[in-house]
Structure 1
Amino acid sequence: MSATPAAMGGPGAAVPDWAAPALARVLDQVAVTRTEVQDRFPLCADPGSGRWTTTGRGSWTGGFWAGLLWLRARHTGLRCDHEAAELFTGRLGTWVDVDTVTRGLILWYGTALADTPEATALRLRATHACRGAYDPRLGLVPWGSAFGGPRLLARVDGVPGMLSLLAPVDPRAARSHLTRHLELCLGADPLCWSFAYERPDGWVPRDDPPPGWSRGRAWLLLAVADGGHLLQPGDLKAAVHRLVTDPVVPPADEARPQGPPDTSAAAITAVALLKLGRREQALTLLGELVRSHLTDDGRLLNGCYDLAAGTATQHELIWGDFFLAYALAALTGLVDVHDA
C-alpha cells in the first residue's frame, strides 16, 4: 500500500495503491455499459457474458446508473460523458410523483453528484414530493403502491436517500423516518427488515426480505451514517454498534452461510463505514472486493439481487458498481464521501 496524500481520512491518511487503478477500471467499464444499453437503464449483468438486463425507466435502481455516469464525467472531464449523465438524470423526473419511498434511492443518488441547474431543480421537486408523502400518523414515508403489494410498509431499503431529500426541508420528518425504522428493525430479534401496518395490531414484522438478508444491515447502516446528525449521540453509537460486523463480504442470506455472497451489500457497507470515519474497516472490505471480486475490465461480480427468487444471484449489479465506484472515488479525492 503506497502512502500518498488523501483527500479524506484526516492528516497523513494514505490512499491504497489499488484504489485509483480500480476506480479507473470501473469507470472505463461504465462507458462500455453505456454503449451496450443505449437509452435503457442497466439493472444486472450476467457474470459470464456480461450482457445486461435493462429497464426502460430505471426501476428503483435508475439513480445509481445516473450517479455512475456523473462519476465518470468527473473522472474524464469529457463533454460527451457530462451529456450522458445529464440525459439519464433528466429521465428520472418521471419518478417524482410516483408513490414509492424508493424515490429516495432514485432521485437522491441520481442528482447528488450532478452539477447542473436542471438536476438541482429536479432534486428540489423530489424533496417537496417526498415531504408530501410523509405520514405523521405512521412517522415515516410508507413504502407506497408503485411496485405492488401492501402500501403501508416500513422497509429498510426505503431509508437511504430519503433522509437526504427530507432533511433540508423538514428535519423532523427525516428524524422520524429514520428513528421509526431503527425502532422497528433493531427492536426485532432477529433483526427484521420489513413491517406492515395492520389495524388494530400496528406494525407487524414480515419475512420478505428474510431476517438474514445481506442488504438489510447494509442499507440501515448507510442510513445511520447519513442521518447520524439527526440522532442523539447515544442512539447513534448504539445503532452503529448493533449494525457493524466484521468487514467481510457477507453471504446473501446469513441463514445460508455457504450460499452465494453479496458484494453489493459489501460495497454499500464500505461507503457507510467511510462516512462514519471507520476508514480501516472500509479499506479492509474494499480491498477484498477489488482483489477477489472485481474483474480486470472493471465488473464487480458476485452480487446477489434476490436469493429467494433465484434472480441474479452471482451477477454484476448496478448499485454494487455505484457504491464501489463511489467509495473508491472518495478514497482518491474525486468526491467527498459526504457528497452523496
Structure 2
Amino acid sequence: MSWAEKALSEVLERAGTVEADAGGRWPLYADSVSGRWTTTARGSWAGGFWAGLLWLRAIMSGDPADRATAIDRTASLDPWIEADTGTRGLIFWYGTAFGVATGDAPAATLRDRAAHACLDAYVPELGLVPWGGAFGGPRELARVDGLPGLPRLLRLAGPGGAEAARTQLDLQFGLTAGGRRLHPAWQALPDGTWHPHPDPPPGWSRTAAWLSLAVADTGDGARRRKLLAHPEVAARFAAGSPAVPLVRPGGLPDTSAAAIEAVAALKLAARADQDEAARLRDRAATVLRELVSAHLRDGRLLDGCYDLNHGAATSHELVWGDFFLAVGLAVLTAAIDPFVC
C-alpha cells in the first residue's frame, strides 16, 4: 500500500467513526488537540462535503451499509434547495456527484431540483446567482467561494442554465482575476458596477484555490491558460512554492486551501498538454505528500483555518479540508476519475 493509499484509508476510516458518533448532526470543524467536532443541525454551506466524503467512503469500501449512510446524508441536504445562498453549488454538486455517478436515483433527482432552483435564483441584471442572505451580510455579492460546483449545476437546467453558467463564470473570473491581485468578493452597486467587498479580503488563502477549481471543471483551454498566467495563481502552482498557503501574509496556515489546490491541479492536468500536465500533477503530488506527512494525524487533516477575521476555528480540522484531501488522494491513486465530482 502506497503512502497515498494508506492516508486515504485513514481519512475515510475517520469519517466513518465521526459519522457514527454524530447523532445525525453535521460535522463542521474539529479542535486540533481534542478532536471534538463543532456540529450543525443542517450542515451549513459545508454539508455537501460531508455527504460527498461519505459517498467516497462507500465507493472505496463497497459496503452496502456505507452506501446507505451516504444516501441518507444526501437526502438530508434537501432543505438547502430553497435557501437564499450561492453556496448551493458547493452543497449540491459535491454532495450528490458520487451518488449520481454510482447510479443513485434519489441523488440525481435532488441534484436536478437543485439545478433548477439555482437557475430560478439567477439574476440576469447582475449576471449571476448572488451570494444571498442565508449567512448574513449583503446578498448581492459575487464571491469566488460560491463559484465551484455552481456552473456545473446550472448546466443541468437546460439551455437557460448553460447560459447562466457561462455568464456567472465570465463575471466572477473577470472580477476575481482582472487585476494583478486576486479579489475574492465584490458587491453590486445601484449603478450596475461592482465594488470590491472587504470580506474575504485580498490575499485570502482560498481565493486561488476556489477559482482554480471552478476553472478546472470547465475544460476551457483558453481560460485555463489565462488562469495559470495570473501571478498569484502561478505562484501557488509553481514548483518549490510552499505547499500550504497562509490565510493572509504573515498569518496562519490553511491546509484546506492546499487540499483544494491539489484537486484543482489534478483536474487542470487532466486536460493539459503533456509537459504542463506533468508539472501540475507533480505539484499536486508534492502538496498532497506534504499534507499527509506534516499535517495528517489519525485521519485528521489539521491546521486548517475557517475564519481568521472572526476568530473561528483558526487552526482546526475542517470538513472540506478532509473532503478535498480524500478526493485528491483518490485521484492521485487512480481510484476515481478527476471529474467524477
Whether TM-score is above 0.5 comes out as: yes
Change (3 A) 1:235 1:334: closer
Partner secondary structure for residue 206 of structure 2: helix
Corresponding residue for residue 120 of structure 2: 132
**TM-score of the aligned structures, taking structure 2 as reference length:** 0.90
Corresponding residue for residue 326 of structure 2: 325
**Would the aligned equivalents of 1:139 and 1:177 in 2 still touch at CA under 8 Å?**
yes
Corresponding residue for residue 99 of structure 1: 84
The aligned amino acid for 2:283 is Q
CA distance in 2, matches of 1:164, 1:193: 20
Per-residue deviation, 1:249 = 3.1
Residues 166-315 of structure 1 mapped to structure 2, 5 A cutoff: 166-168=154-156, 169=158, 170-200=161-191, 202-229=193-220, 233-242=221-230, 243-244=233-234, 245=236, 246=238, 247-256=241-250, 259-277=251-269, 278-295=280-297, 297-315=298-316
Per-residue deviation, 1:189 = 4.6
The aligned amino acid for 1:254 is R
CA shift digits 1:131-154 (9 cap, x unpaired): 111112111111111111111100
Per-residue deviation, 1:313 = 1.0
**Would the aligned equivalents of 1:47 and 1:315 in 2 still touch at CA under 8 Å?**
yes
Partner secondary structure for residue 144 of structure 1: coil
For these two proteins, the number of residue pairs brought into alignment is: 319
**Would the aligned equivalents of 2:224 and 2:268 in 1 still touch at CA under 8 Å?**
no
Name the % identity. Answer: 52
**TM-score of the aligned structures, taking structure 1 as reference length:** 0.91
**Would the aligned equivalents of 1:40 and 1:57 in 2 still touch at CA under 8 Å?**
yes
Per-residue deviation, 1:172 = 1.9
CA distance in 2, matches of 1:220, 1:309: 23
Which has the larger share of helix? Answer: 2
Superposed CA RMSD:
1.4
The aligned amino acid for 2:124 is P
CA distance in 1, matches of 2:264, 2:171: 20
CA distance in 2, matches of 1:20, 1:131: 39
Partner secondary structure for residue 96 of structure 2: coil
Partner secondary structure for residue 83 of structure 2: coil
Partner secondary structure for residue 196 of structure 1: strand
**Would the aligned equivalents of 2:215 and 2:223 in 1 still touch at CA under 8 Å?**
no
Consecutive unaligned residues in structure 2, runs of 5 or more: 270-279
CA distance in 2, matches of 1:290, 1:126: 34
